[in-house]
Amino acid sequence: MTPLLQVSNLVTEFGGGKGRPGLKAVNDVSFSVERGRVLGLVGESGSGKSVTGFSIMRLLEHPGRIASGQVIFDGTDIARLSDEEMRRLRGKRIAMVFQDPMMTLNPVLTIATQMVEAVRAHDDVSKEVARQRSRDALGLVGIPSPEERLSAYPHQFSGGMRQRVAIAIALLHKPDLIIADEPTTALDVTIQSQIISEFQKLAEQSNTAVVWITHDLAVVSRLADDIAVMYAGRLVETGPVSKVLSTPRHPYTAGLIGSVPSQNRRGERLRQIGGMTPAINRLPEGCSFRTRCDLATDGCRAMPALLAEADRSFRCIHPVTREIA
Amino acid sequence: MVTSIIRRLMQAMFVILAMTIIVFIGVSVIGNPVDILINPDANQAERARVIAHYGLDQPLWMQYLLFLKGLLQGDFGNSFVYGRPALGLILERLPATLELAVTALGIAIIFGLPLGLYAGLYPNRISSKLIMSGSILGFSLPTFWVGLMLIMVFSVELGWLPTNGRGPTAEVMGIQWSFLTGEGLRHLLLPAFNLALFKTSLIMRLTRAGIQEVLPQDYVKFARAKGLREQRVIAVHVLKNLMIPVVTIIGLEFGSLIAFSVVTESIFAWPGMGKLIIDSINLLDRPVIVAYLMMMVLLFVVLNFIIDVCYTILDPRVRLDAKA
């Protein structure tokens, strides 16, 4: 079975052109997602995970652009689509949920306006029908008295409710793929949990593929089937969630897991990865992680290739072998 | 809403009161109107009679109290120079200034908004950079110089447009308007353009800055992620947010157009309020100055209120009654 979304060797650059190289926010990233599966795309701030999401949506802001590589969605290379064809894909077959629900809804338009326009952008239906569908979608994500809430403005909702509205908008057209860019980061834990359950149900029931972008390993372990760990624009480790989280091969993944508070013993200092993520224009030669890595040797001065091992892969010549959890 | 109006009117009263005191003290510091009003050849008895006639023999605080007393009866006092009610003099000139200001603001919006939008949406085009450099000229060149140049080029050299005055007017509802006659419109064109130049640049730059602020917002990206057409993203999502600061500035600038059209009116000999107030200041015609400034305070208060009402329409987060 061919995957719904296949990203191969994606490189997204900012700036550059006319002979000068741009900054590679995303560098040689490949992964795939099948229908009904959830991929957790994990990394620290600035690792390029959001840019990957926007690259798939072709919503990169100037001066960002896809420099090379392919994004194949349901057999079509999205780079070959015209702007209008891409627009018809967005919101209809690929939907996106953003990180900050306080910012994603337009503050001066009613929820009804923002939902009805989303329906009518793709389906030629009357406003009444569009409103009806919007109301149903709000009900689906658990918003009480949806009819009244339709005429409200975003500032009259709490953060969690706003994110539900954003998810309802994403679900309006029953998309094949949802890119969720840290949708629970700005929410408190109980709401987080509810939203994750919604997504789980969604992926199972409507066979929707989800790319869940996050830095929260706990969320990924609950929700995702597969995981892809990014560091400084590159994938460093991919594989099934259970395997990667229990036996990480890349020292960075191991460090991330080790720094989750529940992994630490009470009274001990929290473990952390030394140093800072290098700025994207000052990456060390070779493996980007080697300056922070305990296992680094001279061999790390050359960029290691992604090594495959059964159904997983990692980009390290000194893979961790001990079990963590 | 009603409490809000009442509160504003009370505030306006205080501002007006403070302003009248400042004007009374200010004018008395600048000079004595008597020196200007009375023929230098007049004898002592005649001087005393004129001084008493205008009430200038009283101490300043007494003059002020008398003025307040008149005010309560709706009397702003008579102009020292014209000998007629000051308020009437000003209201007579109001239509001329009003049509000049409205025309100028119209020009500023018609040119400023689209050009600013264009420059904001396509900041890297050469045409956008030209527009923005042009706007720097627009608000750095002094109004009087531009006015003189306009007269030089369009009136003196090319002879296309008249240099001064309102031209023939047509009467509607008892008021004389220039823009209703073709010749009057020709008279209106140069001064209105002169007055509009600065405001056009201002609205242009404001619009551009607003666009650049709104475009990177998440809700614009989210609107695109919903698959909306680009026209709708700009026309609804961007423009509606953009209008909030733009409406504020347009409202306030309309006030300043009316209040400070002095330079343009002087250069083009446009018989509006600006010219009246400059003449009155030169002649220390205190009643006219006071009445004029009081009207301006009222104008700004009313404009601010209208802006606030517009706000509640544009921005659902703002409610007038909420802030007590």
Domain presence at residue B28: no
B231 in contact with chain A, both atoms CB, cutoff 8 A: no
Residue B132 to residue B128: CA distance in whole angstroms: 6
What is the mean pLDDT, run by run of 10 residues, along chain B of 324 residues?
A: 78 84 80 73 77 77 81 79 82 84 91 91 87 86 84 78 71 68 75 88 91 89 91 90 87 83 82 84 83 84 82 77 45
- Chain B nearest CA to A90, separation (Å): 5
- Chain B nearest CA to A99, separation (Å): 9
Is the predicted pLDDT of residue A115 greater than 60, yes or no? yes
The 3-state secondary structure of chain A reads CCCCEEEEEEEEEECCECCECCEEEEEEEEEEECCCCEEEEECCCCCCHHHHHHHHHCCCCCCEEEEEEEEEECCEEHHHCCHHHHHHHECCCEEEECCCHHHHCCCCCCHHHHHHHHHHCCCCCCHHHHHHHHHHHHHHCCCCCHHHHHCCCHHHCCHHHHHHHHHHHHHCCCCCEEEEECCCCCCCHHHHHHHHHHHHHHHHHCCCEEEEEECCHHHHHHHCCEEEEEECCEEEEEEEHHHHHHCCCCHHHHHHHHCCHHHCCCCCCCCCCCCCCCCCCCCCCCCCCHHHCCCCCHHHHCCCCCEEECCEEECCCCCCCCCCC
Mutate one of A104, A119, A150 to test the B interface: name it (highest B CB count within 10 A): A104
What's the pLDDT at A229? 93
Average pLDDT over every residue of A111-135: 92
* Residues facing A39 on adjacent strands: A211, A226
Chain B stretch 297-316, residues whose beta carbon is closer than 8 A to a beta carbon of chain A: 314-316
Task: Judge: B232–A89 Cβ closer than 8 Å, yes or no.
Answer: no
Q: Which residue has the higher pLDDT, A77 or A277?
A: A77
Q: How many residues does chain B have?
A: 324
Question: CA nearest B242 in A: which residue?
Answer: A108
Whether this model's ipTM surpasses 0.90 comes out as: no
> Who among B225, B244, B315 is closest to A57 (CB)?
B225
Residues 6+ apart with CB under 8 A from A36: A203, A204, A207, A208, A209
Question: Please, what sign has the CA dihedral across residues B198, B199, B202, B203?
Answer: negative
DSSP SS3 for B167: coil
Task: Judge: A96–B225 Cβ closer than 8 Å, yes or no.
Answer: yes
Mutate one of A108, A171, A181, A213 to test the B interface: name it (highest B CB count within 10 A): A108
Domain presence at residue B57: no
B228 in contact with chain A, both atoms CB, cutoff 8 A: yes
* Residues facing B98 on adjacent strands: none
What's the pLDDT at B24? 79
Is the predicted pLDDT of residue A325 greater than 70, yes or no? no
Give the helix ranges, DSSP H, for B260-285.
Answer: 262-267, 273-282
Q: What is the pLDDT of residues A215-238, one digit of tens each?
A: 888 889 888 999 999 998 889 999
What's the pLDDT at A133? 92
Residue A176 to residue B269: CA distance in whole angstroms: 70
Task: Judge: A108–B226 Cβ closer than 8 Å, yes or no.
Answer: no
Residue A109: list chain B partners with CB under 8 A.
Answer: 236-237, 240
Domain presence at residue B321: no
> Who among A87, A89, A98 is closest to B222 (CB)?
A98
What's the pLDDT at B324? 35
What's the pLDDT at A5? 92
What's the pLDDT at B65? 83
The domain of B278 spans 92-282
Domain presence at residue B45: no
Task: Judge: A106–B241 Cβ closer than 8 Å, yes or no.
Answer: yes
Residue B230: list chain A partners with CB under 8 A.
Answer: 87
What's the pLDDT at A135? 92
Q: Which two tokens stand for residue A131?
A: 């409103």
Domain presence at residue B133: yes
Average pLDDT over every residue of A124-143: 90
B122 in contact with chain A, both atoms CB, cutoff 8 A: no
Domain presence at residue B120: yes
B125 in contact with chain A, both atoms CB, cutoff 8 A: no
Question: CA nearest B216 in A: which residue?
Answer: A61
Average pLDDT over every residue of A116-129: 92
Q: The domain spanning residue B223 has which CATH number?
A: 1.10.3720.10
Domain presence at residue B226: yes
Q: Is B76 exposed, middle or buried (0-12, 13-18, 19+ CB in 10 A)?
A: buried
Is the predicted pLDDT of residue A151 greater than 60, yes or no? yes
What's the pLDDT at B189? 82
Question: CA nearest B123 in A: which residue?
Answer: A62
Residue B312: list chain A partners with CB under 8 A.
Answer: none
Task: Judge: B236–A117 Cβ closer than 8 Å, yes or no.
Answer: yes
What's the pLDDT at B52? 78
* 8 Å CB contact between A220 and A226: no
* Domain tally, chain B: 1
Average pLDDT over every residue of A155-168: 88
Question: CA nearest B221 in A: which residue?
Answer: A59
End-to-end Cα spacing for chain A: 33
Task: Select, from the ranges A17-21, A34-38, A183-187, B62-66, the one with the highest average predicted confidence (pLDDT).
Answer: A34-38
Question: CA nearest B318 in A: which residue?
Answer: A108
Domain presence at residue B306: no
What's the pLDDT at B208? 92
Is the predicted pLDDT of residue A192 greater than 70, yes or no? yes
B22 in contact with chain A, both atoms CB, cutoff 8 A: no
Task: Judge: B227–A107 Cβ closer than 8 Å, yes or no.
Answer: no
Residue A118: list chain B partners with CB under 8 A.
Answer: 226-228
What's the pLDDT at B135? 87
Q: Which two tokens stand for residue A255?
A: 């460090």
- For every residue of B111-131, DSSP letters joined together read HHHHHHHHHHHSTTSHHHHHH
Cα–Cα nearest to A276, from A255, A261, A262, A295: A255
What's the pLDDT at B323? 43
Residues 6+ apart with CB under 8 A from A60: A12, A51, A54, A66
Residue B274 to residue B277: CA distance in whole angstroms: 5
Residue A90: list chain B partners with CB under 8 A.
Answer: 224-227
Buried b / exposed e over B104-115, threshold 16 CB at 10 Å, is bbebbbebbbeb
Q: Which of A61-65, A94-98, A176-180, A246-250 has the lowest mean pLDDT?
A: A61-65
Mean pLDDT of chain A: 86
Q: How many residues does chain A have?
A: 325
> Who among A89, A104, A117 is closest to B228 (CB)?
A117
